Chains A and B, each alone.
Chain A
Amino acid sequence: MTALEERPEVADLGLHRQLGLTDEELDAIRSRLGRDPNDLELAMFSVMWSEHCSYKSSRPLLRTLPTSGAGVLAGPGENAGVISIGDGLAVAFKIESHNHPSAVEPYQGAATGVGGILRDIFTMGARPIAVLDALRFGDPADPWTRHLVDGVVRGVGGYGNCVGVPTVGGELVFDPSYQGNPAVNVMAIGLLDERLLTRAVAPGPGNLVVLFGSTTGRDGIGGASVLASATFLDGDSSKRPSVQVGDPFAEKLLIEASLELIEHGLIEGLQDLGAGGVTCATSETADRAGTGILVDLEAIPRREPDMAPFEVMISESQERMLAVVRPDHLDAVREVCERWGLPVAVIGRVTADGDLAVVSRGGELARVPARALTSDAIVHERLAAPPARRRLAPAPGVPVLPSDALPERGMDPGAVLLALIGSPNLSSRRWVYEQYDSNVGANTIVPPGTGAAVVRVRGTSKVLVASADGNQSVSAIDPALGAALSVAEATRNVSITGARPLGVTNCLNFGDPTRPEAFWQLSEAVRGLGDACRALGLPVTGGNVSLYNESPGRAIAPTPEIGVVGLLEDLSKLVSPAFRTAGDVVVIVGQVSPGLAGSAYATLAGVAPEDGPPALDLAAEAALQAFVREAADRSLVASAQDVSAGGLAVALAESAIWGEIGGHLRLPIGNSPAVELFGESPSRVVLTSTPRHAAALVLLARQFGLPVEQVGVVGGDRLIVELTGAGATGAAEERGSRVADALDVPVSHLAHAWEHGLVRALGQEPDALPLGEG
Chain B
Amino acid sequence: MTVRVGVVTFPGSNRDADAMAALALAGAEPVALWHESPDLQGVSAVILPGGFAYGDYLRAGVIARFSPVMRAVSAFAEHGGLVLGICNGFQVLAEAGLVPGALLRNRSLRFVCRQVAITAERRDTPFTRAIPDRHPLRMPVAHGEGCYYADEATLAELEAGGGVLFRYAREDGTPAWAADDQANPNGSLRGIAGVISTRGNVAGLMPHPETAVEAALGSDDGLLIIRSLVESAAERAAAGGPALVGGPALVGAR
B partners with A: yes
Residues of A within 8 A of B (CB): 154, 157-158, 161-164, 247-250, 252-253, 340-341, 433-445, 447, 456, 458, 571, 767-769, 771-774
List residues of chain A with CB within 8 A of the CB of B56. 162, 249
Contact A772 B171 (CB under 8 A): yes
Within B113-153, the residues touching A (CB, 8 Å) are 113-115, 117, 140, 142, 144
Known A248-B52, A447-B218; judge A437-B113 contact (CB<8 A).
yes
Contact B52 A438 (CB under 8 A): no
Contact A774 B182 (CB under 8 A): yes
B6 at interface (Cβ–Cβ under 8 A)?
A: no
List residues of chain A with CB within 8 A of the CB of B179. none
B66 at interface (Cβ–Cβ under 8 A)?
A: no
Contact of A440 among B14, B21, B144, B183 (CB under 8 A): B14
Contact of B11 among A157, A253, A458 (CB under 8 A): A253
Nearest B residue to A441, CB-CB = B18
B100 at interface (Cβ–Cβ under 8 A)?
A: no
Q: How far is the CB of B9 from chain A (nearest CB, A)?
A: 9
Q: How far is the CB of A255 from chain B (nearest CB, A)?
A: 10
Instruction: Annotate B199-233 by CB proximity to A: 1 below 8 A, 0 otherwise.
Output: 00000000010110110111000000000000000
List residues of chain B with CB within 8 A of the CB of A447. 115, 218
Residues of B within 8 A of A (CB): 11-12, 14-15, 17-18, 21-22, 50-52, 54-57, 107-108, 110-115, 117, 140, 142, 144, 170-171, 182-183, 185, 208, 210-211, 213-214, 216-218
Contact B170 A771 (CB under 8 A): yes
Q: How far is the CB of A469 from chain B (nearest CB, A)?
A: 23
Contact B112 A434 (CB under 8 A): yes
Known A249-B11, A771-B171; judge A437-B142 contact (CB<8 A).
yes
Contact of B112 among A341, A442, A767 (CB under 8 A): A767
Q: How far is the CB of B15 from chain A (nearest CB, A)?
A: 6
List residues of chain A with CB within 8 A of the CB of B52. 161-162, 248-249, 252
How many angstroms from the CA of A162 to the CA of B10 in the assembled complex?
13
Contact B51 A769 (CB under 8 A): no
List residues of chain A with CB within 8 A of the CB of B170. 771
Contact A438 B113 (CB under 8 A): yes
Contact B15 A164 (CB under 8 A): yes
Contact of A436 among B14, B54, B113 (CB under 8 A): B113
How many angstroms from the CA of A392 to the CA of B11 in the assembled complex?
58
Contact B57 A440 (CB under 8 A): no
Contact A440 B114 (CB under 8 A): no
How many angstroms from the CA of A467 to the CA of B50 in the assembled complex?
28
List residues of chain B with CB within 8 A of the CB of A440. 14-15, 18, 50, 142, 211
Which of A163, A436, A769, A771 has the most chain B CB within a 10 Å cutoff? Answer: A771
List residues of chain B with CB within 8 A of the CB of A249. 11-12, 52, 54-57
How many angstroms from the CA of A248 to the CA of B17 in the assembled complex?
18
- Majority SS at the chain A contact face: loop
How many angstroms from the CA of A437 to the CA of B210 in the assembled complex?
15
List residues of chain B with CB within 8 A of the CB of A163. 14
List residues of chain A with CB within 8 A of the CB of B183. 768, 771
Q: List 16 A-B contacts (CB under 8 A).
A: A157-B111, A158-B111, A161-B52, A248-B52, A249-B55, A252-B12, A435-B112, A437-B111, A437-B142, A439-B208, A440-B15, A440-B142, A441-B18, A442-B21, A442-B210, A445-B216
How many angstroms from the CA of A772 to the CA of B117 in the assembled complex?
13
List residues of chain A with CB within 8 A of the CB of B208. 439
List residues of chain A with CB within 8 A of the CB of B117. 771
Nearest B residue to A430, CB-CB = B114
How many angstroms from the CA of A470 to the CA of B211 in the assembled complex?
32
Q: How far is the CB of A162 from chain B (nearest CB, A)?
A: 4
Contact of A435 among B18, B110, B171, B213 (CB under 8 A): B110
Q: Add 13 more A-B contacts to A164-B14, A164-B15, A442-B214 (CB < 8 A).
A: A161-B113, A248-B52, A248-B55, A340-B11, A434-B113, A436-B111, A442-B210, A447-B115, A456-B216, A571-B216, A771-B171, A772-B171, A774-B182
List residues of chain B with CB within 8 A of the CB of A164. 14-15, 51
Contact A162 B12 (CB under 8 A): yes
Contact A434 B171 (CB under 8 A): no
List residues of chain B with CB within 8 A of the CB of A154. 110
Q: How far is the CB of B206 from chain A (nearest CB, A)?
A: 13
Nearest A residue to B21, CB-CB = A442
List residues of chain B with CB within 8 A of the CB of A437. 111, 113, 142
4 closest Cβ contacts across the A-B interface? A164-B14, A249-B55, A767-B108, A768-B182
Contact of A252 among B14, B17, B113 (CB under 8 A): B14
Q: How far is the CB of A756 from chain B (nearest CB, A)?
A: 14
Nearest B residue to A437, CB-CB = B142
Contact A767 B216 (CB under 8 A): no
How many angstroms from the CA of A228 to the CA of B56 in the assembled complex?
31
Q: How far is the CB of B19 from chain A (nearest CB, A)?
A: 9
Contact B55 A247 (CB under 8 A): yes
How many angstroms from the CA of A456 to the CA of B54 in the assembled complex?
29
List residues of chain A with CB within 8 A of the CB of B115. 447
Contact of B142 among A161, A340, A571 (CB under 8 A): A161
How many angstroms from the CA of A441 to the CA of B17 in the assembled complex?
7
List residues of chain A with CB within 8 A of the CB of B182. 768-769, 771, 773-774
List residues of chain A with CB within 8 A of the CB of B210. 442
Contact A161 B11 (CB under 8 A): no
Nearest A residue to B222, CB-CB = A442
List residues of chain A with CB within 8 A of the CB of B111. 157-158, 161, 434-437
List residues of chain B with CB within 8 A of the CB of A571. 216
List residues of chain A with CB within 8 A of the CB of B140. 439
Q: How far is the CB of B196 from chain A (nearest CB, A)?
A: 24
List residues of chain B with CB within 8 A of the CB of A443. 217
Q: How far is the CB of A211 from chain B (nearest CB, A)?
A: 19
